[in-house]
Amino acid sequence: MKKEVLGILAGRGELPWICARNAIAAGQDVRVFCITDEEPPEEFKKISVPVVLTKLYSSVFRSFREYGARRIILIGKATRDILYKKPRFDLRTILLLARMTSQSDTNLFQYVLQAFEKHGFTILPQDLYLKNMYLPTGRYGKSLSKKEIEDIAFGMVYAREINRLDLGQTLVAAQLSVLAVECAEGTDQCIRRGGELYHKKGAVVCKVAKVDHDKRFDLPVTGISTLESMRDSGCRVLAIESGKTMVLNHVEFVKTAEKYKISIVSCDPDKSDVKTISKICRSAAKL
């Protein structure tokens, strides 16, 4: 009996390939459908298929059917600017967008999910083959000042709120003030804007998921590019939500953070008061 194909609709970055590698190791027959022009790694070229995301029906769904992929994981970077920069739509996708009350991330997903399900496709949780990518609760890197701990406690509350409003997952804070909020431009640009505004340097970056986040869509992810944006803009602390924010290559990530003199705090945004953050940060965590 032929194996059912697992389809990975792949955006930018490493995550789709890590997911594909883990799924193959788990015995899955995988096909990767690439929505960007990034070159697939050599080991995946034979199972990779280019598709046009804005041609949801005539390109994406058609390719899924052609290769027998009914179970789908949506993963990798795909910011909303794909809708604005000379997009190529098919007619049915235009009609889908026209029915939306807004084009926020959550609303887009809900409408796309309905279209997937209507056509017989099932979207699976993004972390199905990535359970080992969450950074345990703790402080990684140098100790934090009282000011930095206060900014984490302040920033995590506001990060949760902007996410509730469906603006983004990330904000930059300093001196108990919000300097930048992530919108359509993505995390790295938000970090650069916010960090460069703070003339003293040392701003705090906070990244969270929504309450009761649907794991099929847009789980927070951080990696080396986040650290590079922080280094370039002078940010010195990254606070992420434990158990919800996926971290690419834990060991390399923490080593790079130490090299850039950046501290990482993995914590629960709903328990991020100054006292709790101080307790988490008393001693450095180890991988």
Same domain for 119 and 210, yes or no, is: no
For the entire predicted model, the pTM comes to 0.88
Q: Quick check: is 180 in a domain?
A: yes
pLDDT averaged over every residue in the chain = 92
The burial class, CB within 10 Å (0-12 / 13-18 / 19+), for 246 is buried
Reading the block at residue 124, the tokens are 């699976």
Same domain for 259 and 188, yes or no, is: yes
Q: What is the pLDDT of residue 84?
A: 61
Q: What is the pLDDT of residue 107?
A: 79
What are the tens digits of pLDDT across the range 3-47?
789 999 999 999 999 999 999 999 999 999 999 989 999 999 999
Same domain for 140 and 251, yes or no, is: yes
Q: What is the DSSP letter of 12?
A: B
Same domain for 80 and 207, yes or no, is: no
Hey, what's the torsion of the CAs at 82, 88, 89, 90, to 10 degrees? -150
Q: What is the pLDDT of residue 199?
A: 83
pLDDT at 81 over 80: no
Reading the block at residue 35, the tokens are 């929505």
pLDDT at 1 over 60: no
Reading the block at residue 38, the tokens are 């990034």
Same domain for 239 and 259, yes or no, is: yes
Q: Quick check: is 209 in a domain?
A: yes
Q: What is the pLDDT of residue 62?
A: 96
Share of residues in the chain with pLDDT > 90 (%): 74
Q: How confident is the model at residue 184 (pLDDT cuts 50, 70, 90)?
A: confident
Given 123, 153, 173, the domain boundary residue is: 123
Hey, what's the torsion of the CAs at 65, 71, 77, 78, to 10 degrees? 50
Same domain for 67 and 176, yes or no, is: no
What is the Cα 241 distance to its own chain's centre? 12
CA–CA gap between residue 125 and residue 28 (Å, rounded): 15
Domain count, the chain: 2
CA angle (253, 186, 171) in 5-degree steps = 75
Q: Are 210 and 192 in contact (CB under 8 A)?
A: no
Print the domain residue range for 31: 5-123
Q: What is the pLDDT of residue 211?
A: 82
Q: Mean of the pLDDT values across residues 52-57?
A: 89
Q: Mean of the pLDDT values across residues 95-114?
A: 81
Q: What is the pLDDT of residue 146?
A: 96
Same domain for 43 and 106, yes or no, is: yes
Q: What is the pLDDT of residue 170?
A: 96
CATH number at residue 245: 3.40.140.80
Given 89, 123, 157, the domain boundary residue is: 123
